[in-house]
């Protein structure tokens, strides 16, 4: 199945399930918070992370409903990171997914609380629903692994390094620091999307290591392409502000290597990820098609 066909099949299912998870329930002042959460989560999106969970899970079991809670809980956290990244204290952006960012549509305090709520709620979703399909021990392991991914050794740590970088020294050192930032900020969660299904289904440590490698390479590919699009596409095309990295004088693959070299690095990462998939001997070509989709995406 092509990735486009896979997306067309499963994005409606993901969106429908997300709607059930973030449907407002209160009638007092808390409804503002619920509406901000729903506004951010249900905005039109590529849903790359939950699709990755489902695609990886299909290597073990065709019934994707078993991991839908995991897929959607990860998307909730991804939305939390976007809400907080867009705040004035971090990336200070006004647009996301083709609409005003959460703090622009509502206000900064509401956006902060929406992000906080989405992170904790993601664990509630897993704890309450995933044990219907997997052992309590495996579900607890998933919670522990995700908490690690979201913390200092993953998303939060990568964001901190991105905010307070050290790009002194020779080019090779700068490149390694840039890779470190994006292995944590982007790659850690994408790697979790493909390793956690295998963990739930009891795959071997050696294969889980391959899944980890694939996810990290996919994360770097995604980030390099993001850096390229930031300088080659408009806000209307991206659905978010363009040239933000240039305006903020941030170190990117384009800033460090130039546009042509960045494009070559993206090709190299895609090839490396494809080689890992060959080692995994996947049953379908969905993930290999995903690589091509990420490499050639235009927004």
DSSP structure string for 134-175? S-HHHHHHHHHHHHHHHSTTTHHHHHHHHHS----S-HHHHH
Whether the per-residue pLDDT at 231 is higher than 90: the answer is no
As given in the structure block, the two tokens for residue 110 are 């509401």
What's the topology of domain 3-296? Answer: Farnesyl Diphosphate Synthase (1.10.600)
Residue 237 has a pLDDT of 62
Whether the per-residue pLDDT at 239 is higher than 70: the answer is no
CA–CA distance, 23 with 26 (Å, rounded to integer): 10
Where along the chain do its domains lie? Answer: 3-296
Residue 126 has a pLDDT of 96
- Cβ atoms within 10 Å of 264's Cβ, excluding its own: 13
Whether the per-residue pLDDT at 169 is higher than 90: the answer is no
Residue 283 has a pLDDT of 85
> What is the pLDDT averaged over residues 26-31?
97
Relative orientation angle of helices 205-232 and 259-280, to the nearest 10 degrees:
160
pLDDT in tens, 258-296: 999 999 999 999 999 999 999 999 988 999 999 999 998
Q: What SS3 state is found at 18?
A: helix
Residue 168 has a pLDDT of 85
Residue 280 has a pLDDT of 96
- Cβ atoms within 10 Å of 206's Cβ, excluding its own: 8
Whether the per-residue pLDDT at 93 is higher than 80: the answer is yes
Residue 11 has a pLDDT of 97
Pick the more confident residue, 172 or 214. 214
Find, among 158, 54, 39, the residue nearest to 100 by Cα: 39
Residue 98 has a pLDDT of 87
Whether the per-residue pLDDT at 298 is higher than 80: the answer is no
Whether the per-residue pLDDT at 1 is higher than 80: the answer is no
pLDDT, mean over the chain: 93
């Amino acid at each position: 199945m092509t990735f486009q066909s896979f997306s067309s099949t499963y994005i409606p299912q993901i969106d429908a399930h997300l709607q059930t998870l973030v449907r407002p329930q209160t009638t007092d002042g808390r409804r503002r918070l619920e509406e901000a959460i729903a506004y951010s989560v249900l905005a039109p999106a590529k849903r790359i992370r939950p699709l990755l969970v489902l695609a990886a899970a299909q290597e073990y079991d065709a019934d994707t409903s078993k991991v839908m809670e995991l897929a959607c809980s990860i998307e909730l956290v991804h939305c939390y990171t976007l809400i907080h990244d867009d705040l004035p204290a971090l990336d200070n952006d006004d647009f996301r997914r083709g609409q005003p960012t959460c703090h622009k549509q509502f206000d900064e305090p509401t956006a902060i609380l929406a992000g906080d709520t989405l992170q904790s709620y993601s664990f509630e979703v897993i704890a309450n629903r995933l044990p219907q399909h997997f052992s309590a021990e495996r579900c607890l392991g998933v919670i522990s692994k995700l908490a690690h991914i979201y913390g200092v050794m993953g998303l939060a740590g990568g964001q901190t390094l991105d905010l307070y970088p050290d790009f002194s020294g020779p080019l090779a050192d700068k490149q390694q620091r840039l890779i470190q930032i994006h292995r944590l900020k982007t790659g850690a969660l994408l790697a979790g999307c493909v390793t956690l299904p295998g963990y739930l289904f009891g795959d071997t440590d050696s294969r889980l290591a391959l899944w980890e490698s694939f996810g990290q390479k996919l994360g770097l590919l995604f980030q390099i392409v993001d850096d390229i699009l930031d300088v080659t596409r408009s806000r209307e095309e991206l659905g978010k502000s363009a040239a933000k990295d240039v305006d903020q004088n941030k170190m990117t693959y384009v800033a460090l290597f130039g546009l042509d070299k960045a494009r070559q690095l993206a090709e190299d990462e895609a090839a490396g990820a494809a080689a890992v998939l060959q080692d995994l001997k996947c049953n379908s070509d969905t993930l290999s098609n995903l690589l091509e989709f990420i490499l050639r995406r235009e927004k």
